[in-house]
Chain A
Amino acid sequence: MSATLPFPPFGQRHLLGIARLQPHEIEQLIDLAEAEVAVSRRRDKKKSTLKGRTQINLFFEASTRTQASFELAGKRLGADVMNMAVANSSVKKGETLIDTAMTLNAMQPDILIVRHHSAGAVALLAQKVACSVVNAGDGAHEHPTQALLDALTIRRHKGRIARLTVTICGDVLHSRVARSNILLLNALGARVRVVAPATLLPNGIESMGVEVYRRMEDGLKDADVVMMLRLQRERMEGSFVPSVREYFRYFGLDAAKLRHARPDALVMHPGPMNRGVEIASEIADGPQSVIEEQVEMGVAVRMAVMSALIGGPEASA
C-alpha cells in the first residue's frame, strides 16, 4: 500500500505450508530473502524490523539447527526471542498441545515458530492463537522454510527455478522436506524427479507431480540439482532397507553416480547428514556441494518470512 515499502504487504497471517501459497507469494518471499542475505554478511547484523516484537520458538521435537536458525533470524531483526524447550518437558504430549497454545497465547507473543512430530499439529495450534505462526516442520507433512531456502540457494546459482531438473533422492516417505520441495518446485515450474527404494516412497507418488525413478543413474541423468534426504537410523537396518551398505551402494550419492548429472549440478542436503549412508563425504565437501550455503540461506529466508508476516506497520484499525 505505502509507496515507501519495498514490497507489497504479504497477504497471509501464518506460514503453515507451501501448499497454501500462490506462486507469486513464493517468489515474493524468495525476493525478500535475497535482500536479507547481505544483512548477515555485514559487521553490524542488527535490524530493527521486529524491534519490540516477541518471538517464541516452540519445538516439540528436538532440533538444534532449525531452532538456532530461527533464533538468529529473529535476533537479527531485533525481536525478543524466547526458546521453549518442550521436547524434554511435560508438555510434549499431544493432548496438551491446545493448552500449551492457550498458555503461550496469553503471553501475547507476536509470532510462534512451531515444530511438532505430528502432521497437522501446527495448523491446529494456529487456530487457537491470536498471533502469527510459522511451521518449522510438522510430522511428515511440510517444512516450508526449508523449501524456500532451497529455492533461494538454487536461484542464486542457476538464476531461475523454472525448467530446471531437480532430483530428490532418498526417504521421501517420511520427509516433510520432500513434500514442501515437490510443491514449491512444481509451483515455480521446475521438473521434479524422485529416486528411492519403493519402500521409502509414499503411496500415490506418481500422482504428486514427480517422475519416479528406481535407479540413481537414471534419475540423476542431466539433472541440474540433486537433493539428498536424510535416512533415519532406525529405518536403515532391516525395516525399510536391508542395510546401510546396501543402501549406500544403490542410493547413496557418490562420485560415480553424480557423474550422470550435469557437470554443474548442485548437490544439496537439508542436514544433518549421514556421511557414508546417503552421501559420500567427498561429495558433501566437494565443489558441487552447496550444503553450507543452504544453512546461510536458512537465516535469510527465516528473516524474510518473519518480516513478511509481522514486520509491517502496526495495524491501525
Chain B
Amino acid sequence: MSVAAPTLIEHVRIIDPARSLDAVGTVVIVDGHIVAAGTDALNQGAPDGAEIIDGRGLLLVPGLVDARVFIGEPGGEHRETIASASAAAAAGGVTSILTMPDTNPVVDEVAIAEFVMRTARDTAVVNVFPAAALTRGLKGKEMSEIGLLTGAGVRAFTDGRHTIADPVLLRRIMTYARDFDALVMHETQDAALTGNGVMNEGLLASWLGLPGAPAEAEIIPLERDLRLAALTGCRYHAAKLSLGESADVMRRAKQRGITATAGVSINHLSLNENDIGEYRTFFRLSPPLRREEDRAAMVEALADGTIDIIVSSHDPQDADGKRRPFAEAESGAIGLETLLPAALRLHHSGAVPLSRIVEAVTAAPAKLLGLDRGTLAPGSVADMALVDLEAPFLFSEDRIRSRSKNTAFENARFQGQVLRTFVAGRTVFSESDRSGG
C-alpha cells in the first residue's frame, strides 16, 4: 500500500469550486496525484493497471478541509486520539484537519506542534495540521512564538475555545503576526459578559431556569476584533459565529475592505436552541445554539459569502462530561463524520447551492490555511471524497468512529453518504467495508 495504484473514476459528477467546475466527466489519478479531472480527462487514455470505478450517479469533490477540530492528544486520549479523530475524519470525507491547540500540554511551542505532526504522520490516515496557541498556555497573557511556530509549519494561530480579553495584547499579537503573514483565528465570546451563561439568553433559557449567554457577548468582541484587524492589517478570521447580527457586522466589515474572514460550525447551520428540549446536554455548545432566526441568517450569510467556511467544530467529550445536569456538563459536540451529510441538507432544502457548500468545506478553508489542497486541478494531491448525494442513512451510534459519542445528530436521518475517501490517491475509507466488517 505504499504507492497507490492508478485510479480512474468514470462518468462521475465532478464539483471543483476552485476551478468553478461542475460537470460529469472522468478523473485520472496516478502516483497519488490528479492527472486530469473533467470532461476531457480521457484524452490521454486510461493509465495501465488502473482501478476503474464507475462513478455513474455519484459525486466527486475535493477532500474536505476542516479548520476547527479539537482532539484529545496529548493529554486527553480517553476522549480522542489523533488516530481516532483521523478515522472519523476519513469516514466523513474529511482529508485535512486543523487541530486546535487546546490540549494538555497546550500546543504553544515548536516541540509540541512537532509532536502532533509526528504522531499524525505515524498514526493518522488524513492530513493533520496543528494550529498553535496565540498566547502561552492559552492564558491570554503572553504571545507565543509566532515566528518559530510558523517556521515549523504551523498554518494558523488560535486560542481555541478562549477569547483574548486584553485588547492591548490582542493588538500587539495582530501587529506582530502580520509580519509573518500568520493567520489569527479567534473565538469571539466575551467570557465576562457570558458569565455563567450556558445557553442562548431568552425565553427558553428563562423557562428552563438556566443562565443565558447574551448575543452581545459575541458581537462586542467581534466588532472589537474587526477594528483591530483594520488597524493592524493582519489576516484575521472569526472562528465561529452564530448570530444574524454577527453576520451583519461581518458583511459591513468586508464591504469596508477589511481583510477578514469568518467561519460557522455546521451545528449553527443545522440546529437551534429548541433542540436542547429538556436539558439535552449533547446540545450544549459554545457559542450556544441560537434562535431559529439566527440559524436562518447564518445560512443566508453562508450562501452570500459573508461567512467563508463551514467547520465541524468537532469537540469530543466523554460520557462523564455529558451525563450531568445541563449547567454542569461540558460543552461541545463531535462533528467530523456528520459535517458533509449535515451540510448537504442545505443543498437538499434548496437553501444553498451545492457548489457553494462544497467550496465552504474545501477550496475556501484550503485557501485560508494556505494549503495546496481542496481542489481537483491537475497536478494536485488526490485528496477526494466520492459521495452518493441521494443515499439515505441513519446516523446511529454504532457508526461513530470517534472515540467519544457526543453527537448533536444522534440517530439523525441524512441524505448524502460518503462512499469512499482518498488521501493522496489511497483509499482511507470505504463505506462498503463498513458492512463487510
Beta-carbon contact of A118 and B206 below 8 Å: no
Which of B80-88, B323-331, B355-363 lies at the binding interface?
A: B323-331
Within 86-122 of A, Cβ neighbours of B (below 8 Å) are at 94-95, 97-98, 116, 118-121
Give how many B residues have a beta carbon under 8 Å from the other chain's beta carbons. 20
- Distance between Cα atoms of A202 and B279 in the complex (Å): 18
Query: Which of B201, B209, B320, B324 contacts A176 (CB under 8 A)?
Result: B209
Is there contact, CB below 8 Å, between A118 and B325?
A: yes
Residue among B202, B203, B210, B325 with the most chain A CB within 10 A?
B325
Quick check: A179 and B324 within 8 Å, CB to CB?
no
Within 8 A of B (CB), among A168-205: 176, 179, 202-205
CA distance A94 to B328 in the complex (A): 7
The A-contacting residues of B in range 60-75, CB under 8 angstroms, are none
B64 to nearest A CB, angstroms? 35
Nearest residue (CB) in B for A138 is: B209
| CA A98 to CA B327, docked complex, whole Å | 15
The stretch from A23-31, A139-147, A291-299 touching chain B is A139-147
B278 touches A202 (CB 8 A): no
Residues in A with CB closer than 8 Å to B201 are 203
Contact among A118, A142, A202, A208 with B326 in the assembled complex (CB-CB below 8 Å): A118
A204-B203, A208-B203 known; A118-B328 Cβ under 8 A: yes
Measured between beta carbons, the chain B residues less than 8 angstroms from A94 are 324-325, 328
Residues from chain A with a CB closer than 8 A to the CB of B231 are none
Q: Is A4 among interface residues, defined by CB-CB distance under 8 A?
A: no
* A120-B206 CB under 8 A given contacts A94-B325, A95-B320, A95-B328: no
Q: How far is the CA of A120 from the CA of B280 in the complex (A)?
A: 9
A residues in contact with B279, CB < 8 Å: 119-120, 123-124
| B32 interfacial by beta-carbon distance below 8 Å | no
Q: For B325, list chain A residues within 8 Å (CB).
A: 94, 97, 116, 118-121, 124, 139
What CA separation (Å) do A140 and B327 show in the bound complex? 11
Taken together as a complex, chains A and B put the C-alpha atoms of A118 and B104 apart, in Å, by 29
Chain B 190-217 interface mask (CB, 8 Å, partner A; 1/0): 0000000000011111111110100000
Q: Which positions 243-288 of chain B face chain A at CB distance < 8 Å?
A: 278-279
Q: CB distance B203 to A95 under 8 Å?
A: no
User: Please, which residue of chain A has its CB at the minimum distance from the CB of B201?
Assistant: A203
Which residues A135-173 have CB closer than 8 A to chain B?
138-142
Instruction: Assess whether A316 is interfacial by the CB under 8 Å rule.
Output: no
Which of A116, A124, A141 touches B208 (beta carbons < 8 Å)? A141
Residue pair A139, B202 in contact (C-beta under 8 Å): no
Contact partners of A120 in chain B: CB under 8 A: 208-210, 278-279, 325-327
The answer to whether the Cβ of A207 comes within 8 Å of any Cβ in the partner chain is yes
Give the chain A neighbours of B320 by CB distance below 8 A: 95
Q: Please determine whether B324 and A119 come into contact, CB atoms closer than 8 angstroms.
A: no
Report which of A123, A139, A142, A202 forms a contact with B206, defined as CB distance below 8 A.
A202
User: How far in angstroms is the closest Cβ of chain B from A92?
Assistant: 12
Bitwise interface map of B from 323 to 364 toward A, beta carbon under 8 Å scored 1, else 0: 111111000000000000000000000000000000000000
Residues on A with C-beta less than 8 A from B326 are 118-120
Q: Which of A95, A98, A141 contacts B209 (CB 8 A)?
A: A141
List of B residues within 8 angstroms of A121 by Cβ: 325
List B contacts of A208 (CB < 8 A).
203, 206-207
Kindly report which residue of chain B lies nearest to residue A16, judged by CB atoms: B278
In the complex, the chain A residue whose C-beta lies closest to that of B326 is A120
Q: Which of A116, A138, A176, A203 contacts B205 (CB 8 A)?
A: A203
B:282-330 near A, CB below 8 Å: 320, 323-328
A93, B245: Cα distance in complex, Å: 37
Contact A203 B206 (CB under 8 A): yes
**Which chain A residues numbered 199 to 246 have a C-beta less than 8 Å away from chain B?**
202-205, 207-208
Q: A94-B325, A124-B279 are in contact. Are A119 and B210 (CB under 8 A)?
A: yes
Does B208 lie within 8 Å of A97, measured CB to CB? no
A123-B279, A208-B206 known; A203-B328 Cβ under 8 A:
no
Chain B: minimal CB distance from A59 (Å): 15
Chain B residue with minimal CB distance to A116? Answer: B325
Within 8 A of B (CB), among A3-38: 19
Minimum CB–CB distance for B393 against chain A, Å: 28
Are A179 and B207 in contact (CB-based, < 8 A)?
Answer: yes
A140 and B323 in contact (CB under 8 A), knowing A94-B328, A120-B279, A203-B203? no
CB pair B324 A205 closer than 8 Å: no
B75 to A: closest C-beta gap in Å: 19
Give CA–CA (A119, B201) in the complex, Å.
Answer: 15
- Rounded to whole Å, the gap between the CB of A299 and the closest CB of chain B is 26
The answer to whether A139 touches B209, judged by C-beta atoms less than 8 angstroms apart, is yes
Q: Which residues of B contact A98 (CB under 8 A)?
A: 323-324
Q: CA of A94 to CA of B207 in the docked complex: distance in angstroms?
A: 21
Beyond A120-B279, A204-B203, whether A95 also contacts B324 by CB under 8 A is: yes
Does the CB pair B324–A97 fall under 8 Å? yes
Return chain B residues, CB-CB under 8 Å to A139. 209-210, 325, 327
- In the complex the two chains form, what is the Cα distance from A179 to B209 in whole Å? 8
Q: How far is the CB of B118 from chain A (nearest CB, A)?
A: 34
Min CB distance, A133 to chain B, in Å? 14
On whether the beta carbons of A207 and B203 are closer than 8 Å, the reply is yes
How far apart sit A121 and B278, CA to CA, in the bound complex (Å)?
11
Report B-chain residues with C-beta under 8 Å of the C-beta of A142.
209
Q: Using Cβ atoms and an 8 Å threshold, which residues of chain B touch A97?
A: 324-325
Contacts of A204 in B (CB 8 A): 202-204, 206
A121 to B324, CA, bound (A): 7
A125 to chain B: closest residue by CB: B325
Which of B202, B278, B324 lies in contact with A203, CB distance below 8 A? Answer: B202
* A118 touching B208 in the complex, CB below 8 Å, given contacts A95-B320, A123-B279, A204-B202: no
Q: List 21 A-B contacts (CB under 8 A).
A: A94-B324, A95-B320, A95-B328, A97-B324, A116-B325, A118-B327, A119-B208, A119-B209, A119-B325, A120-B279, A120-B327, A121-B325, A123-B278, A123-B279, A138-B209, A139-B209, A139-B210, A140-B209, A205-B206, A207-B203, A208-B203
Given contacts A119-B208, A124-B325, 6 further A-B contacts (CB under 8 A): A118-B325, A120-B209, A120-B278, A138-B209, A203-B212, A208-B207
